[in-house]
Structure 1
Amino acid sequence: MCGIFGLVTSSRQGLDRAAWDRAIRNLFILSQSRGKEAAGIAIANADEIVVHKDSVSAEAMLKTADYKTAVSRGADGFFAAPGDKSALSVVGHARLVTNGLQGIDANNQPVWRDDIVIVHNGIVTNWAELWAENPDIKPRAEVDTEVIAALMHKYTVEGDTTQKAMSRAFDDIYGETSIAFFQRGTNELMIGTNTGSVHYCISAKGDAFFFASEKWICQKLTSGDKTIPGFAGVPVHQLTAGNGMSIDLSSIEVKTFGFDSALATPQISPMLATQRNIEEKSYRLRHAQATMQRCSKCLLPETMPYIAYDADGVCNYCHTYEPWEKKPESEIEEYLARFRGDGKSPDCVVAFSGGRDSSYGLHLLKEKFGMQPITFSYDWGMVTDLARRNQARMCGKLGIEHIWISANIKEKRANIRANVLAWLKKPDLGIIPLFMAGDKQFFWYANELIKQTGIPLMVFCTNRLEKTDFKLGFLDMPPQVDGFNQPSTFGMGRKAQMLMQYGKRYLSNPRYINRSIPDTAWAFLSYYGINQDHLYLFDYVDWDEDVIDDVLINGYDWELADDTECTWRIGDGTAAFYNYIYTTVAGFSEHDTFRSNQIREGQLTRDRAMELVERDNQPRWKSIREYTQLINIDFDEAIRVIDRIPKLYGA
């Protein structure tokens, strides 16, 4: 199982910073024998609790700049001005993954939930039942440890002391559990175990304390070259099963107690004059994202490429935006009438991704305009199973033939894998669209299908709110301001500039010179070189998100994703991954640009758009995991690399 440990030192002990650093390092190195998949630390001083964790071994984490920054923040003040002050306290964790993927920071430890920062060794086997039995508390991560903190916080809110709350939580949980935690408003370290996997030492002068998961670890730190000053030769005690312990961080007084939810005379927890702040990297990043400057009219943030704000805070994208001028619906009626057949034979081909726009467009063509479509889908290996099920729903209910053209899926995914691995070696936001190059032959096959079927009308159901200038912006290309243009209409100069920018990145990272190059070249030709002069349905028809969702969900039992409430991009297996990258590094994604366009069109208020962006930019972990599995890359390593990319916002 995992290794947990802690060290409490008072100014009376006189431990200097170098000795303290060595003690923490030795506790980590010795404890990682119990788990090397992730590590973390929480440092409590008089003013705050600094939390840092990483999805690497403890030994690797100790070498990182982020770890050193966190330790400096938590400990420097204590050692810079020694005196009679509250203790400096640490709890640490070396993780063996048993519940919740290690690449997701929220699953690693210490876990911060409500007012509690906790480390945990063991497995709570009834964690799912406990969430179900306590519907007033909701999980925020996948790790079982979180339910312990949530229960203890719930019980303290109900009026229990910290000791009684912990005892009640141990009554509730089933499984092997040893914990240590800080509570924001109390001045104590609490420890508990139902197995006895806690061993501890009190310094000879009673001015310091440490604990670890195994007796031999304590023995290493009380004798020999790893001895912590003040602990030489002191006895090692065990906190036996069914017992808890509190360490008063003012007096270093240690008290033990048995778990008894009745607790006739409960201990009163020593309180702090003010609650400590809790500082964690993920919180700091969220705060930095929340405080970015955004356009006062739309939502575009300061990290948007080529953005500028006027004196009123309105961005240049708003100033140059050309409203979507829908063509009269009478024109499409006249246009479709030229192709409409006898109602039995196909009279148009619909490019069908299985997403909401193409699904709704199919509905309109058949039910409103009386056309008899056939649909066409290109499977390049990233069409989700959910999209396929929704395609089946639509075609089955409407009685529409569905033509599939499938690529060599194994080869396509191998190409994606090669490019994603190259990108992970040298991340660059500008080259992310390369991940999706393999789907662009869709346009080539669309033209071929017109020839094969003899049906001259190809209908696309894309909407013009989905313009994403930022993708080319990160490629160091300024936005094209003259409205919405099909890629095939880009001028030769712009195409040449794009090729030059990609070429520079290829030369700077030779790993892009891989098996995918022929496929990528074909994709570029298909997307930027082949005529796309097709019918675009939403140039004539109103696009209303609420109406579309209502028709699809209630009319066709259209299936939603279980990792997001948003209905956009849920049929695209790549979207969750690349939008996670954009959000993590730049603080915004496709959702921000899409909602900004809706604001400009008068479809959403700015406040409502902001609510939707905050909701839709949450990581879709299930979809991201499925993506990494499909292309056979390591999920944890990919998330670790993305997490460490320098951020474009102040963090």
Structure 2
Amino acid sequence: MTDDEYLKRCSMCILPETTPNITFDKDSVCNFCHSHVKVQYEGESKLRELLYSYRKDSSKYDCVLGISGGRDSSYTLLKLVKDYHLKVLAVNYENPFTDPQAKTNIENAVEALNVDVVSFKLKNNIHEKTFKHNFTSWLREPSPAAIPMMCIACKLILPNVIKYAKKYDVGCVVTGGNPYEYISFKRELLNVSTDDNYMNLLTKSFGIKGFGGIANEMLKNPLYCHPMCIPTMVTGFLYGNPYSFGPRFLSPNINLNSDFL
């Protein structure tokens, strides 16, 4: 008999008992199934209306889109240009770990759609340095909850995208994503319930609880508190997602819209 056969699983979603913070009722249905809320869509007409409200004849661009060369951002770019006929400025972060195919995808997309693209790099190789430092720190004190620390520099993408929106006087930043691929287990590992509304991430409840969870991980492994990493972590906390403190309160004139596939 294998180890998997001994694991208790949810009778609905089959999540195992090893899932962080999972509980089961008398019918073996887990708490995540009980608290699940279906994604509510406002409809394409509402999205179109919102996007068009930021059009300005006097502006070179209607919106700014962060593009990685992956399927989500590439599809969003296609949608904005072909279906909504918007003037888009694509902004790409030249991630040192980007696969060459992603770069090719960006080149092909902007050429086919006749879209302007600007690229930026992080200064002083901070992405490579923080990744190496946090990885070696993690190896000293392995913890599943601290794995996101490896790529903390990725959180610097959003403030740079917003910077280009301000530079070109664009009031709308669009991101592309899939709500069914959110990795909520990261929040559970930090003892932040997935019951908390995603809109509140890094602002209300998650801001307090999440920071406490991160602080706890850093107390268990003080190696993370390297002077080189602190500014990146602070910025990452402020700009963790489109609904976090930085975009909502430090850039109030820019609307960040998530276009779900």
Report the TM-score, using the length of structure 2 for normalisation.
Answer: 0.85
1:423 and 2:135 aligned: no
2:151 is matched with which residue?
A: 436
Counterpart position of 1:529: 245
Q: 1:411 to 1:534 in 2, by over 3 A?
A: closer
**Which residue of 195, 201, 210 corresponds with 1:481?**
195
Are 2:201 and 2:207, in contact at CA under 8 Å, matched by a contact in 1? no
Mapped pair 1:297 → 2:12:
yes
Deviation at 1:366, TM superposition (A): 1.0
Note the 1:485-496 alignment, pairs <5 A: 485=199, 487-488=201-202, 490-491=203-204, 494-496=206-208
C-alpha distance in 1 between matches for 2:124 and 2:15: 37
Query: 1 CA distance for matches of 2:259 and 2:37?
Result: 19
Contact residue 187 and residue 194 of structure 2 kept, 8 A:
no
1:520 equivalent in alignment to 2:233 = yes
CA distance in 2 between partners of 1:389 and 1:486 (Å): 36
2:61–2:168 Cα contact (<8 Å) kept: no
Equivalence for 2:77: 362
Q: Say whether 1:316 aligns with 2:31.
A: yes
Distance in 2 of aligned mates of 1:516 and 1:394: 34
Query: Contact 1:349 / 1:373 at 8 angstroms: preserved in 2?
Result: yes
Equivalent residue for 1:449, pick from 154, 161, 164: 164
CA change 1:337–1:299 in 2 (3 A) is: same
For the residues of structure 1 that align with 2:44 and 2:110, how far apart are their CA atoms?
25
Q: Give the aligned length.
A: 250
Q: Which residue of 2 aligns with 1:377?
A: 92
User: Which letter does structure 2 place at the counterpart of 1:537?
Assistant: D
Give the superposition deviation at 1:402.
1.1
Closer, same or farther: CA 345–507 of 1 in aligned 2, 3 Å: closer
Q: 1:403, 1:474 → 2: CA distance?
A: 36
| Change in 2 beyond 3 A, CA 1:290/1:366 | farther
Question: Of the two structures, which has the highest relative contact order with CA contacts closer than 8 Å and spacing of 6 or more?
Answer: 2
Instruction: Say if 1:425 and 1:293 are closer, same or farther in 2 by CA, change over 3 A.
Output: same
Which of 104, 115, 126 is equivalent to 1:411? Answer: 126
1:219 aligns to what? none
2-side partners of 1:363 and 1:487: how far apart?
Answer: 28
1:511 aligns with 2:223: yes
Q: For residues 47-73 of structure 1, what are the alpha-carbon distances to aligned partners after superposition, in whole Å with 9 as ceiling and x for unaligned?
A: xxxxxxxxxxxxxxxxxxxxxxxxxxx
Q: 1 CA distance for matches of 2:195 and 2:146?
A: 22
CA shift in 2, pair 1:395/1:288, >3 Å: farther
Equivalent residue, structure 2, for 1:278: none
Distance 2:232 2:5 in 1: 40
Aligned residue in 2 for 1:182? none
User: Which has the larger Rg?
Assistant: 1
1:384-399 correspondence to structure 2 within 5 Å: 384-399=99-114
The equivalences for 1:21-36 within 5 A come to none
Q: CA RMSD in A?
A: 2.4
Taking a change above 3 Å as real, the CA distance of residues 293 and 385 of structure 1, as seen in their structure-2 partners, is farther
Q: CA deviation at 1:380?
A: 4.2
Tell me the CA shift for residue 474 of structure 1: 1.6
Deviation of residue 421 (structure 1)?
Answer: 0.3
Note closer, same or farther for the CA distance 1:535–1:507 as it changes in structure 2 (3 Å cut). closer
Q: Is the 8 A contact 1:395 1:402 kept in 2?
A: yes
SS of the residue 1:451 aligns to: helix
Q: Counterpart in 2 of 1:181?
A: none
More strand by share: 1
The gaps in structure 1 that reach 5 residues or longer are: 1-283, 544-651
- Equivalences for 1:590-629 in 2 at 5 Å? none
Q: What is the aligned-residue identity percentage? A: 26
Could you say what secondary structure the match of 1:461 adopts? strand
Structure 1 residues 486 and 438, CA, compared in 2 at 3 Å: closer, same or farther? farther
Post-superposition offset of 1:505: 2.5
Deviations 1:419-473 (A, max 9, x none): 1001011101111111121011122122222210111111111222222221122
Q: 1:368 to 1:486 in 2, by over 3 A?
A: farther
Shift of 1:535: 1.6
Q: How far does residue 318 in structure 1 lie from its aligned partner after superposition?
A: 1.3
How far, CA to CA, are the matches of 1:347 and 1:478 in structure 2?
37
Q: Is the 8 A contact 2:188 2:194 kept in 1?
A: no
In 2 relative to 1, CA 340–496 (structure 1 residues): closer, same or farther, beyond 3 Å? Answer: closer
- Contact 1:437–1:524 (Cα < 8 Å) also in 2: no
What displacement does 1:288 show? 2.7
Q: Name the aligned partner's letter for residue 487 of structure 1.
A: L
Contiguous gaps of at least 5 residues in structure 2? 249-254
**Residues of 2 paired with 1:339 and 1:298: CA distance?**
41
